[in-house]
Amino acid sequence: MEVLTSKTELRDWLADRRSRPRVLVPTMGALHRGHTSLFDRAREEADALGGEVVATIFVNPVQFGPNEDFDAYPRPLEADLAQCREHGVDAVFVPVVADMYEGDRSITVTETRLSTTLCGASRPGHFDGVCTVVAKLFLLTQPDAAVFGEKDYQQLAVIRRMVRDLDFPVRILAGATVREEDGLALSSRNVYLTPEQRAQAPILQRTLAATAQGIAEGRFATPQAAREGFLEAFGEATLARLDYFEIVDAASLEAVEYFGKAELRLLAAAFFGKTRLIDNVGVGRVALG
């Protein structure tokens, strides 16, 4: 496995491999089973194409807000590289901030529709930072496909829209959310939870799943009724503060006013102390009365 620490090293590595199919997995490191499942998905795709897998590890400063945890974000690089190697990654691009962003940079990729609600409402500028770094990584690594996790569902939708609108020749593949045995979605930020918060945290997934099932079975007549059901059940999490809960069209992320869509997505975010957790579940075709 090659470890490439600069854009120059990456370009030199790519120079003799331009015709090979390539699958990209962008990460910010602090890797866990959720990330390695994306490596496995990329490996399957690359093997089918006769190609290679490239991962990136880069804590992207432009997607963090002024009061967020950029400086504290975990960076266990050696452990991360070991996991990349174990899961069949061919090369890892690990740039420093100064190599990725010029000091006088003045160009940003801006998303103006899908990123205005949900996590975007709580984190202004976050998805512009995501789009900017992902666009740069697409240009630098020249992938045929890239894998993103469904746990960050809004991010997945935004990246799909960017690829569509800017005509990037990259297929976007989705990796299913990986969970602990009690249902909590794996996240690098779970380590910040106290034992008491960790014990309550799975209620986010349980309440989302129960609400989705109620919608699918027709037990909630309207989105408002489903929302009220969610809020009542989530109230059992006494250590949590809900950031948002929304029922949206899975493709457009627009909040639905009635049931009848072929595919819905339920998304929520909640604070347990200072730790913000996100999760989402899909809903099949709704049983309409």
d(CA 190, CA 198): 8
d(CA 278, CA 280): 7
d(CA 21, CA 23): 7
Structure tokens at 103: 């000091």
d(CA 45, CA 26): 15
Active-site annotation holds for 35: yes
Helices (H) and strands (E) in the chain, counts: 10, 9
Beta bridge partners of 185: 179
Q: Quick check: 105 and 136 in contact, CB under 8 A?
A: no
Of 32, 35, 87, 126, the active-site residue reads 35
* Neighbour count for residue 223 (Cβ, 10 Å): 18
Q: Quick check: 289 and 218 in contact, CB under 8 A?
A: yes
d(CA 179, CA 202): 10
Structure tokens at 84: 């990349």
- Residues 6+ away with beta carbon under 8 Å from 2: 13, 90, 91, 92
Q: Quick check: 132 and 126 in contact, CB under 8 A?
A: no
Active site residues: 35
